């Protein structure tokens, strides 16, 4: 178990979850299906949060968006998967 403080709250994270997250954030994620899906989603999410959907559509490839959309389907987030495909296709900018 990992413990750290954020402001006045103590946060505890299971060691296994922490390792999974760190693998997914790495440039070369783990080889497991969940690792690859989480990495694909983080890859698009970070750029989108940084510069918006138009920016991410120009920076990330259609394949990046497709992998992120498949990750959403794996995580049972079909609406987000559809939105990612729409952004990749040029239908959403902002």
pLDDT number for residue 56:
92
Q: Is residue 12 part of a domain?
A: yes
Q: Residue 13 pLDDT more than 80? A: no
Residue of 32, 13, 18 whose CA lies nearest to 74: 32
Residues 50-88: tens digit of each pLDDT? 999 989 999 999 999 999 999 999 999 999 999 999 998
pLDDT number for residue 86:
92
Q: Are residues 86 and 92 in contact, defined by beta-carbon separation less than 8 angstroms?
A: yes
Residue of 66, 75, 62, 65 whose CA lies nearest to 33: 75
Q: Is residue 11 part of a domain?
A: yes
Q: Is residue 94 part of a domain?
A: no
Residues 14-51: tens digit of each pLDDT? 677 778 888 888 888 778 898 899 999 999 999 999 99
User: Residue 80 is part of which domain span?
Assistant: 2-88
Flag whether the pTM goes above 0.85. Answer: no
Q: Is residue 35 part of a domain?
A: yes
The total of structural domains in the chain comes to 1
């Amino acid at each position: 178990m990992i413990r750290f403080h954020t402001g006045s709250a103590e946060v505890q994270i299971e060691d296994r979850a922490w390792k999974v997250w760190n693998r997914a954030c790495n440039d070369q994620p783990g080889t497991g299906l969940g690792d690859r899906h989480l990495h694909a989603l983080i890859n698009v999410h970070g750029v989108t949060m940084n510069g918006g959907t138009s920016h991410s559509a120009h920076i990330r490839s259609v394949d990046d968006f497709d992998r992120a959309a498949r990750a959403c389907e794996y995580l049972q987030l079909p609406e987000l998967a559809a939105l990612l495909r729409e952004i990749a296709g040029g239908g959403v900018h902002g």
